[in-house]
Amino acid sequence: MLNQAIDNYLKIRRVAGFELKVDDGLLHHFARFASGRSESHVRRQTAIEWAAQAPSPSQRERRLGMVRRFSDHARAEDPAHERIPQHVFAHRRRRPFPTLFSPEDLRQLLDATARLRPHGSLRPHTYYTLFGLVAATGLRISEALHLLLDDVTPDGLVVRKTKFHKSRLVPLHETTAAALERYLEQRKAIGGGDDHVFISTMGGALTYAMVNGTFHFLIAYINLGSKPDQHPPRIHDLRHSFAVRALAAGSGGRDAPARHMVALSTYLGHAHVADTYWYLQATPDLMRGIADACERCDAGDAP
């Protein structure tokens, strides 16, 4: 009975765009664990004991969360499934605050790509364009690495079925489009059969490991360390920096930030606008504006 309910649950969530490969294996493992106790419904204590088999508190909490989401879904049809508590093994991990690249930081990073070897090869141009594109558009690094030559169009970049199985068109500023075109002209000399936009010196597609290693080499070279109580810079922080700059550049009346947030969420390819609202905490000017508006509301001065 549990296995059938789990299959139905996974089918519904996959229609919504979730892959759930890990959830599939673990939830069916939980079903076998419960079946060994002759249980056909989710039981709170059984779920906790099953999750406790994971090696770390965070992994245990993650396992329990999988069962909790399934149980909440299954209870809609069969209230015999018990509710599963939160934070049994670990509290929710705080999202690390991003390193925000200033224009000067970004200039130093891009200038440093000229130092990459082999000198005179395509590699310095590849990383200059790759990191510049991510910083200028807010693409996920995985999206940039999966771009194909046919995805570069006069209207922008076609980003195909990525993290949440959605495709979108990302318009480019004319300066970004020109920089990408210059790179593609240089790339033609490499040729080869690979149709990825960004390729290695061997002519094949770049991997995340290659790009991540080069990024951290360049960060160390320009001595761009992290601030106290902050994680070291990551490639993903280029995307964070774009989002924060875009929010800070928004202007207009009282409702403008909300409209701007929806547009930015679509541009970034977020599944939920709530994922975009998180960037507000890294935008002090907007946060001050929101706080001031709240104070005026409390004082009865709001228009």
**Of 81, 146, 234, 270, catalytic:** 270
Q: Which residue has the higher pLDDT, 58 or 158?
A: 158
Taking the CA atoms of the chain, what radius of gyration do you get in angstroms?
24
Catalytic member of 28, 44, 163, 168: 163
CB under 8 A, 24+ apart: contacts of 187-191: 187/122, 187/125, 187/126, 189/122, 190/122
State the first-to-last Cα distance of the chain, in angstroms, to the nearest integer.
57
- CATH fold of the domain at 97-303: hpI Integrase; Chain A (1.10.443)
pTM: 0.67
Active site residue 140: yes
How much is the pLDDT for 292?
A: 54
- Indicate which residue of 43, 81, 125, 140 is catalytic: 140
Q: What is the overall mean pLDDT for the chain?
A: 84
To the query of whether residue 270 is one of the catalytic residues in this protein, the response is yes
List the domain boundaries for the chain.
Answer: 2-74, 97-303
How much is the average pLDDT of 61-85? Answer: 95
Band (pLDDT 50/70/90 cuts) for residue 302 is: very low
From the list 43, 239, 240, 260, the catalytic residue is 239
CA distance 180 to 184: 6
Pairing of strands 152-153, 156-159: antiparallel
Instruction: Identify whether 236 is a catalytic site residue.
Output: yes
Note the pLDDT of residue 303.
44
pLDDT in tens, 21-30: 899 999 999 9
Q: Tell me the percentage of the chain whose pLDDT exceeds 70.
A: 76
Largest CA distance in the chain: 68
Tens-place pLDDT, residues 234-254: 999 998 888 888 777 765 554
Out of 134-138, 162-166, 211-215, pick the least confident: 162-166
Count CB-CB contacts under 10 A for residue 210.
16
Grade residue 45 by pLDDT with cuts at 50, 70 and 90: very high
In the sheet that holds 156-159, the strands lie side by side as: 152-153, 156-159, 168-170
Model confidence at 278, pLDDT cuts 50, 70, 90, reads low
